[in-house]
Amino acid sequence: MPGIYLHIPFCKQACHYCNFHFSTSLKYKEEMVGAMLRELALRHGYLADKELDSIYFGGGTPSLLTEGELMRFFEEIGKYFTLRPGAEVTLEANPDDLAKEKIAALRRTPVNRLSIGIQSFFEEDLQFFNRAHNAREARACLEDALSAGFNDLTIDLIYGSPTTTDAHWEENLNIIFGYPIPHVSCYALTVEERTALAHFIKAGKSRPVDEEHAARQFEMLVSAMRAQGYVQYEISNFARPGHFAVHNSSYWKGEPYLGLGPSAHSYNGESRQWNIANNAKYMRALSDLSDLQDPPPGLFEIERLSPADRYNEYVMTGLRTIWGVELGRLRQMGAAFEPHFRQHIRPFLENGQAEQAGDTFRLTDAGRFLADGIAAAVFWA
C-alpha cells in the first residue's frame, strides 16, 4: 500500500519548539517545486506498485503552496501513478493560511484531507510557541474548512507546555469536541536541541517543561478522547472508527513510501534513505538533469536495514500502536528475536504496563506514556 510524502520546506516564521527542516525565506519556493518535480521524475521507480493509497504534503508549511503549484505536483504524479479509489490526499495547513479563498482553492485540487496545526486555542500558548496564528484564526479555520466541505479533518494539539494549565488543556479538548472532527493528533511539548525553546530554557528565560505536568495532561487526554468515542490507535493519534490516517498508518505498518524534497525520508522494506536537509544543496543537486537517468550523488544517504534494525523498528512502532507486536512477525525476522522479546517484555507484563492477547503484545494505559522506554528495554542491542 504505497504512498508519497512531499516535504515543503518553507514556513512563515520559526515556531520556538520546532526542529523540522524549513526555511523562513520563501524566495526560492517556485524553484523548489521545480526541483521536487525533477526528483519525482528521477525516483518514481523507487515504488514498484504504481497505485497509491496516499499522498501526504508535509513540512514545513504546505499550505504556502499556491493552487497552481499543488496542481503541478498532481499532474506530475499522475504521469507515473494512479490513485486508488478512496485514496487519502492530505495537506498540512496552518490556520493563518486558511482564508476562505484558500480553502476554496484547495477544494479544487485532489486534496481531500486537511491536517491543521492548531496546537492550542489560547493566546498565551500560541505566543509561547511563536505560532503565526492567533486563537481567533484557530477557530475560524475549522469552521470555514468544515463549511467548505472538508469533512476529513485532523488537527494537531500540544500539551505539557508550562503555559498550558490543566484547565486550559481541558478547554482545548472541549473546543474540538464541539466540532465534527474525526481525527486528532496530540503531542507533548518536547525540548529539542538547537531550538529557540532549548535556548530560552538554558538562559533561564523560559520555565522548563515538566514531565509530571505533561504526563497528567496525557492522562486527561486519553480519558477525554475515550469518553468521546475516539480510538487511540497510536500513542499520539486518536480517530473515530473508520478514520485512522492511511498515510501515517502505513509508516507504522512498514509499508513502502517515497519521500520527495529536502530532508524527506523514503522506505522500501530493505533500506531507508533520507534526502539532504539543505534547500540550496538539494536544488543544486537537481538543477540540471536533462541527461541524468539516476538520482545525482549527494541527494540522499542510504542505510540498509539489518534484521536487528528491522526488529528494533518493528517493536518501536508496534508498541506505540493498537496493532501491537506479533510473535509471527518476529519469527519471520529471525529465530533469536522471539525469545529475546519474550524475555525482555516479561517485567512489563508483570508490572501491568504491557499485556498479551494470544500471540500479540500491546502496552496498557499504564505503559503507553512510557512506550519509548519500554521499547528501548526490548531492543536488540
Rank residues 3 and 117 by Cβ distance to ligand SF4 and give the closer one. 117
Neighbours of 72 (CB within 10 A): 17
Q: Are 155 and 142 a contacting pair, CB within 8 Å?
A: yes
Residue 57 contacts ligand SF4 per CB under 6 A? no
| Segment contacting ligand SF4 by CB under 6 A, of 59-67, 166-174, 321-329, 341-349 | 59-67
Pick from 237, 255, 235, 238: which is nearest to 247 by CA?
255
The residue from 2, 3, 59, 182 that contacts ligand SF4 (CB under 6 A) is 59
Q: Which stretch binds ligand SF4 (CB under 6 A): 58-66, 189-197, 239-247, 264-272?
A: 58-66
Binding of residue 58 to ligand SF4 (CB under 6 A): no
- Give the span between the Cα atoms of 256 and 267, in whole angstroms: 5
- Rounded CA separation 257/46 (Å): 9
State yes or no: residue 65 binds ligand SF4 (CB under 6 A): no
CA terminus-to-terminus distance, the chain: 31
359, three cell numbers: 500471540
Q: Is 5 in the site for ligand SF4 (CB under 6 A)?
A: no
Q: Which region among 54-62, 193-201, 238-246, 295-303 touches ligand SF4 (by CB under 6 A)?
A: 54-62
* Region near ligand SF4 per CB under 6 A, out of 8-16, 168-176, 314-322, 324-332: 8-16
The verdict on 15 binding ligand SF4 (CB under 6 A) reads: yes
Rounded CA separation 15/118 (Å): 13
Q: Are 144 and 105 in contact (CB under 8 A)?
A: no
Residue 154 near ligand SF4 by CB under 6 A: no
Kindly tell me which residue out of 1, 14, 277, 308 binds ligand SF4, with binding defined by CB under 6 A.
14
- Helices 371-378, 337-350: inter-axial angle, 10-degree rounding: 140
By the rule CB under 6 A, 11 interacts with ligand SF4: yes
Q: What is the smallest separation between the CB atom of 112 and ligand SF4, expressed in angstroms? A: 21
CB nearer to ligand SF4: pick between 22 and 361: 22
Interaction of residue 22 with ligand SF4, rule CB under 6 A: yes
CB of 365 to ligand SF4, least distance (A): 28
The minimum distance between CB 129 and ligand SF4, in angstroms, equals 8
Phi then psi dihedrals of residue 163, to 5 deg: -85, -10
In whole angstroms, give the CA distance from residue 224 to residue 163: 20
Q: Is 94 in the site for ligand SF4 (CB under 6 A)?
A: yes
Q: In angstroms, what is the minimal distance from the CB of 195 to ligand SF4? A: 9
CA neighbours within 13 Å on the CB side: how many for 241? 1
Our finding on whether 18 is near ligand SF4 (CB under 6 A) is yes
Strands 354-357 and 360-363 come out as antiparallel
Cβ(39)–Cβ(295) under 8 Å?
yes
Shortest distance (Å) from residue 59 CB to ligand SF4: 5
CA distance 98 to 100: 6
Residues 6+ apart with CB under 8 A from 227: none
Q: Contact with ligand SF4 (CB under 6 A): which of 1, 20, 268, 379? A: 20
Residue 212 beta carbon to ligand SF4: minimum distance, rounded to whole angstroms: 25
Nearest to 284 by CA among 45, 34, 9: 34
- Restricted to residues 108-137, the positions that interact with ligand SF4 (CB under 6 A) are 117
Please answer whether residues 185 and 58 qualify as being in contact, where contact means their C-beta atoms are separated by less than 8 angstroms: no
Residue numbers at the binding site for ligand SF4 (CB under 6 A): 11, 14-15, 18, 20, 22, 59-61, 94, 117
